[in-house]
């Protein structure tokens, strides 16, 4: 039996404190959260690449898309 490690990313909304989890890498998870919650786009099957999203930014510790953030390393959340 093959063991598969799934990526689980916690995203946080800095304006209102909402949290959500995605089985996506952090860069794609922040874009998905923004599209789903802020723009009400339910079909993420054709999600645009983070680097092509006008509100996506990469920072030293993580990624942001509008008010949504995710750390590059999920252990950063555990340290706080």
Using CA atoms, how far apart are residues 9 and 23, in angstroms rounded to an integer?
6
| pLDDT score of 78 more than 70 | no
Is the model more confident about 44 or about 68?
Answer: 68
Question: According to the model, what pLDDT value does residue 17 have?
Answer: 96
pLDDT (mean) for 60-69: 97
Strand 9-13 relative to strand 68-71, pairing: antiparallel
| pLDDT score of 64 more than 80 | yes
Whether the predicted model's global pTM rises above the 0.75 cut: yes
Domain ranges of the chain: 9-79
Digit-coded pLDDT (tens) for 41-63: 876 666 678 999 999 999 999 99
Q: Phi and psi dihedrals of 10, rounded to 5?
A: -95, 125
Where does residue 30 rank: exposed (0-12), middle (13-18), buried (19+ CB within 10 A)? Answer: buried
């Amino acid at each position: 039996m093959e063991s598969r490690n799934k990526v689980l990313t916690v995203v946080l909304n800095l304006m209102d404190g909402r949290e959500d989890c995605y089985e996506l890498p952090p860069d794609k998870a922040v874009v998905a959260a923004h599209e789903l919650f802020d723009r009400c786009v339910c079909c993420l099957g054709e999600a645009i690449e983070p680097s092509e999203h006008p509100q996506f930014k990469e920072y030293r510790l993580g990624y942001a898309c509008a008010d949504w953030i995710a750390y590059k390393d999920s252990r950063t959340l555990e340290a706080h």
